Amino acid sequence: MGMTRRMFLMDLARRKGFRVESELSDSVTHIVAENNSYLEVLDWLRGQAVGDSSRFELLDISWFTACMEAGRPVDTEMKYRLMEQDQSSPLNTPESEVPSFIASKDAFEIMAENYEFKENEIFSLEFQRAASVLKFLPFPVTRMKDIQGLPCMGDRVRDVIEEILEEGESSRAKEVLNDERYKSFKQFTSVFGVGVKTSEKWYRMGLRTLEEVKADKTVKLSKMQKAGFLYYEDLVSCVSKAEADAVNMVVKNTVYTFLPDALVTITGGFRRGKNIGHDIDFLITSPGSREDYELLHKIVDLWKKQGLLLYCDIVESTFTKEQLPSRQVDAMDNFQKCFAILKLCQPRADNSSDNTSKNLDMAEDKHWKAIRVDLVITPFEQYAYALLGWTGSRQFGRDLRRYATHERKMILDNHALYDRTKRTFLKAASEEEIFAHLGLDYIEPWERNA
């Protein structure tokens, strides 16, 4: 299928927690084709030096679409399989490369992302906010009247909604999906360590795809980006809840070896009840004890020894006592932290069961997955603020800070809450206390997904 469509579908599947590879490898179990016959796919496999194609399920795109609708892999029934004699299999012929099912929510996310790539933060936030508002509306929007009185519905947003209501889709979002710059930036930024700045540089150098970047001898990669390319397929496939639970055990066991009374908490999306994420975030603190700047180093040293550490970048704390909270909405905090890639060993498949084990067997030579892990060390007195900040979502955090600033004359960040009227720091031992300081009802983590 066309490049844009393929990228869109791969991204969609990954966001739903499916594991999608861009190239044929030993871990591939299902191959999906569109507008290719069974024989053509076999031919292609031969070209990839695959002798035994029975290792794979060869499927039509309709199987993929069914999976996306169900949110899980559906059975590979006969009707989805590519077969020799069957010339009448349900092959779709898309009119455009871009799928027609871009829902309004997708349209806003695409628009927001495109503005992010253009470093237009204001417009990007506008579409992100609109997407958040619309996602959680308790009713479907069918007429422009439905959005009357809603917050975050500026003119740019209204134009897009109007078009979707009239035409069924957004021509602007579609244009973005076909835009060369957007397509390149989307690819570039999918690599760990590559942001908009690096993407801009590569794009200016005339590079358009990750293959071109890899092939270009003049491109200098940072240590982080090298790891990003090395573990690309693993990192781009989302982390499941089960994987997060497994890593949680590893992290806790390691921390407890050095600090038995430590408090280790999963934060980020998994604390908000999400089933998948792009990384796993941890907060580590210890009641009573003085700050121990060695702990993080001891943890990664042990993982190194155990062969579990694929990459790590430790950032030392830059927090100074009684420092006023940052007014910047998206400021990084000053905790000591570590951005790591961990090697999560996965249990071998049990060969005795049915045909599903056939698929798993093939990944025999690689029974681990590279997983992005963030470890954040916080002083105990700041733990509640760190927990609130690192639980997110990013959008929720931004709104909470704006609320503190504009409605309460307070400054909130991941370290503290400062009351500007009383000129004092407000202590909090729990998230509940922070909400109380702000005069808000407590909001559970799973209600913070906006």
Q: Which residues bind Mg ion (CB under 5 A)?
A: 268-269, 277, 279, 281
> Is 330 marked active-site?
no
Least distance to ligand DCT, CB of residue 47, Å: 36
What does DSSP assign to residue 195? Answer: -
Any contact of residue 281 with ligand DCT (CB under 6 A)? yes
Least distance to ligand DCT, CB of residue 162, Å: 31
In whole angstroms, what is the distance from residue 261 CA to residue 259 CA?
Answer: 6
In whole angstroms, what is the distance from residue 28 CA to residue 189 CA?
Answer: 24
Closer CB to ligand DCT, 38 or 390, in the complex = 390
CA angle 334, 335, 340 (to 5 degrees): 115
CA 360 to chain centre: 25
Both structure tokens of 40: 């053509």
Distant-in-sequence, close-in-space partners of 54: CB < 8 Å, separation ≥ 6: none
Least distance to Mg ion, CB of residue 279, Å: 5
**Strands across the sheet with 424-425, in order?**
410-412, 417-419, 424-425
Are 412 and 404 in contact, with CB atoms under 8 Å apart? yes
| Residue 262: count of CB within 10 angstroms of its CB | 18
Any contact of residue 389 with ligand DCT (CB under 6 A)? yes
Closer CB to Mg ion, 32 or 266, in the complex = 266
Least distance to ligand DCT, CB of residue 393, Å: 5
Question: Applying CB under 6 A, what is the total number of residues that bind ligand DCT?
Answer: 15
From the list 374, 399, 413, 441, the catalytic residue is 374
Interface residue with ligand DCT among 81, 181, 226, 278 (CB under 6 A) is 278
Distant-in-sequence, close-in-space partners of 55: CB < 8 Å, separation ≥ 6: 358, 359, 362
x/- track of binding to ligand DCT for residues 106-145 (CB under 6 A)? ----------------------------------------
Interface residue with ligand DCT among 106, 169, 333, 431 (CB under 6 A) is 333
**What long-range pairs does 440-445 form, CB within 8 A, spacing at least 24?**
440/403, 445/271, 445/272, 445/273, 445/391
Distant-in-sequence, close-in-space partners of 76: CB < 8 Å, separation ≥ 6: 30, 57, 59, 63
From the list 60, 106, 234, 279, the catalytic residue is 279
Closer CB to Mg ion, 111 or 370, in the complex = 370
Interface residue with ligand DCT among 99, 193, 228, 397 (CB under 6 A) is 397
Interface residue with ligand DCT among 22, 209, 240, 393 (CB under 6 A) is 393
> Is 279 marked active-site?
yes
Closer CB to ligand DCT, 209 or 393, in the complex = 393
| Residue 255: count of CB within 10 angstroms of its CB | 23
Closer CB to Mg ion, 126 or 279, in the complex = 279
What does DSSP assign to residue 50? Answer: -
x/- track of binding to ligand DCT for residues 399-438 (CB under 6 A)? ---------------x------------------------
AA identity, residue 414: N
Closer CB to Mg ion, 193 or 269, in the complex = 269
Are 363 and 272 in contact, with CB atoms under 8 Å apart? no
Any contact of residue 339 with ligand DCT (CB under 6 A)? no
Interface residue with ligand DCT among 390, 416, 428, 431 (CB under 6 A) is 390
Q: What is the chain's alpha carbon radius of gyration, rounded to the nearest angstrom?
A: 24
x/- track of binding to ligand DCT for residues 243-272 (CB under 6 A)? -------------------------xx---
Both structure tokens of 89: 């299999």
Residue range at the interface with ligand DCT (CB under 6 A); choices 59-67, 253-261, 277-285, 427-435: 277-285
Q: What single string gives the DSSP state of each residue in 335-356?
A: -EEEEEEEEEE-PPPPTTSSTH
Least distance to ligand DCT, CB of residue 376, Å: 8
Question: Token match 């998994």: residue?
Answer: 270
> Is 216 marked active-site?
no
Closer CB to Mg ion, 169 or 279, in the complex = 279
In whole angstroms, what is the distance from residue 394 CA to residue 407 CA?
Answer: 20
For residue 37, say if its preceding peptide bond is cis, omega within 30 degrees of 0: no
Binding site for ligand DCT (CB under 6 A): 268-269, 277-279, 281, 332-333, 389-390, 392-394, 397, 414
Would you name the residues annotated as active-site residues?
279, 281, 374
